[in-house]
Amino acid sequence: MAFKQGNNFGSKSKRGKAKINKELKDFLEVLTFEALEQIEIDKLTNSEKLKFINYSLPYLLNRLQAVDLNSDTENNLFKPVVINMADWK
């Protein structure tokens, strides 16, 4: 199929962003902050504190990307390091 001048293929949609999704995200954000303000951290057990940290950290930190260690680039920053335990005395 040949290219036809004046077609709209690949152009951005003129449709606006969904309001319901934004409203829902805003509502969940408010609800989450209200719930966090009501938690009494001093009364949590160590196990409960660790679970809280475990569940909340993925939302706070950037996700790690996969790195190909087998690439043959000269500027490879991720070179494997071999440590001989016999050297540690």
The predicted pLDDT at position 68 comes to 67
Residue ranges making up the domain that contains 32: 17-61
Long-range Cβ contact pairs of 47-55 (< 8 A, separation 24 or more): none
**Among 72, 70, 60, CA closest to 36:** 60
Band of the pLDDT at 29, cuts 50, 70, 90? confident
Within-domain flag for 12:
no
**Among 64, 65, 41, 38, CA closest to 52:** 41
pTM strictly above 0.75: no
Residues 31-56 have pLDDT tens digits of 888 888 898 888 999 999 899 888 88
The predicted pLDDT at position 78 comes to 61
Within-domain flag for 74:
no
Asked whether the beta carbons of 71 and 79 are under 8 A apart, the reply is no
* H or E element in which residue 20 lies: helix 19-38
Within-domain flag for 43:
yes
The predicted pLDDT at position 69 comes to 65
Q: Pull the structure tokens for residue 75.
A: 């500027």
Within-domain flag for 7:
no
Within-domain flag for 68:
no
| Number of separate domains in the chain | 1
Within-domain flag for 55:
yes
